[in-house]
Amino acid sequence: MRQALRNMRKSSKGKTLGDATLAIHAGENRFHLGASVGTPITRTANFTFASTKEMKRWAEGKSSAYIYTRYGNPTLATAEAKIAALEGAEAAVVTASGSAAISAALMAFLRAGDEVIATRQLYGGSYKLLRDIFPRLGIGVKHVGHDLAGIGALVSPRTKVLYVETPTNPTLRLVDLQKAAAFAREWGLISMVDSTFASPVLQKPLAMGFNVVLHSASKFLAGHSDVIAGAAAGNKVLIDKVRANMIQIGGSMDPEAAFLLIRGLKTLAVRIERQCKNAMIVAKYLKSHSKVAAVHYPGLPSHPDHNLAKRQMQDFGGMMSFEVKSGLNGARKFCDRVRVFSLAASLGGVESLVILPIYTSHYKMSAAELRAAGVAPGTVRVSVGLEDPEDLIADLCQALR
């Protein structure tokens, strides 16, 4: 009998399936008469029991039947199977947002009195969760640079989690995932990485020794700027804990959102391929432009983490930032003049976007904090989409003029 590819990374002949194949077929069930080829949306809040006997079995923890969508739903399970397959994970859980995945994962392994070591350059929402919420819960936070310099002095018997993000926003610096995972193993810490900027097509943190991979699926995974979604992937024991925590905190995904995520995932591999190609063209163009002072793209040999990127990533991604020589005024003029690029928050969608970190993720930071983050007043962050590269270059050209 033909078997669904649910949670499988190998074909019936034992060959490892590629990411494009897994993204399309994992978690789908298309092998009975009249099965829908498109993924069905199970648009329901609750599910029936056939008998009180089944109900009792469920209450005793002996049944994995669906009962209520916050606990689980077939459409969510399809999205989870795809993300688990892409990350090479035993299990994944999808959530209402990337932030819900991050908070559910961290809070599953941290309690009052514990400490987390986190990289300093983090997504703004994650940074604020650690800065504003965790101290109220009695959870200590220590920060380390993306190069993990001096991390040995930060660890204590209270440290339980190492939390990193790579590549970072907006300067695209990298954390050495193998090195970070080895450190976490040595100290018995749970290692977690926010891999949103890379997507599973470009880096596989679990294979490099990480315990939990987190995504804002609102970005590359869904890829069409039309849904807020998140995911965590890892081994079953850890993900069961994240899921239990997510169920209680309440950050579950809606089946409609799961459908949009699944719809996006099916084209993830080809989108990423095109975004990487376009991004390299854009980065080289910007680098050669007389009005541009610096370009931060890991694909350029001038990027400080270029060699690490070649080692731990399949390609260099669709994200970059650059600085114009004329500072904030020049950057504002540029952003106000682009026509093919849109001036908008978020990233990873089919549309190319520009944004000024100084007015978004890095708003209200002191000059010293900006310097530490590598952000200049005139830094422009770019998310490169799927448009024709000639049109992107022509737009950059006119906007920089």
Among 73, 103, 191, 216, binds ligand PLP (CB under 6 A): 216
Among 40, 88, 125, 209, binds ligand PLP (CB under 6 A): 125
Phi, psi for 234 (deg, rounded to 5)? 170, -160
Shortest Cβ distance from residue 257 to ligand PLP (Å)? Answer: 11
Shortest Cβ distance from residue 163 to ligand PLP (Å)? Answer: 11
CA distance 194 to 96: 16
Q: Which residue is closest to ligand PLP by CB?
A: 98
Among the residue ranges 96-104, 112-120, 148-156, 290-298, the one whose residues contact ligand PLP (CB under 6 A): 96-104
Residue 91: Cβ within 10 Å count: 21
CA distance 198 to 347: 11
Contact 120, 146 (CB under 8 A): yes
Residues identified as active-site? 70, 123, 194, 219
Query: 53 CB contacts (<8 Å, ≥6 apart)?
Result: none
Q: Which two tokens stand for residue 129?
A: 């969760």
Q: Decide if residue 219 touches ligand PLP (CB under 6 A).
A: yes
Q: Based on the number of CB atoms within 10 Å of its own CB, is 247 exposed (0-12), middle (13-18) or buried (19 or more)?
A: middle
Q: Decide if residue 166 touches ligand PLP (CB under 6 A).
A: no
**By C-beta, is 169 or 211 nearer to ligand PLP?**
169
DSSP per-residue codes, 43-107: --SB---S-HHHHHHHHTT------BTTT--HHHHHHHHHHHHHHT-SEEEEESSHHHHHHHHHH
Q: Decide if residue 75 touches ligand PLP (CB under 6 A).
A: no
Among the residue ranges 48-56, 152-160, 193-201, 233-241, the one whose residues contact ligand PLP (CB under 6 A): 193-201
Among 7, 99, 121, 352, binds ligand PLP (CB under 6 A): 99
Shortest Cβ distance from residue 121 to ligand PLP (Å)? Answer: 10
**By C-beta, is 126 or 321 nearer to ligand PLP?**
126
CA distance 242 to 240: 5
Q: Decide if residue 123 touches ligand PLP (CB under 6 A).
A: yes
Q: Decide if residue 163 touches ligand PLP (CB under 6 A).
A: no
Phi, psi for 318 (deg, rounded to 5)? -105, 5
**Residue in 201, 149, 154 with CA at minimum distance from that of residue 176:** 149
Among the residue ranges 66-74, 97-105, 233-241, 276-284, the one whose residues contact ligand PLP (CB under 6 A): 97-105
Among 27, 74, 98, 378, binds ligand PLP (CB under 6 A): 98
Q: Which two tokens stand for residue 93?
A: 């859980």
Shortest Cβ distance from residue 27 to ligand PLP (Å)? Answer: 21
Give the interface with ligand PLP as residue ranges (CB under 6 A): 97-99, 123, 125-126, 165, 169, 194, 196-197, 216, 218-219, 228, 230
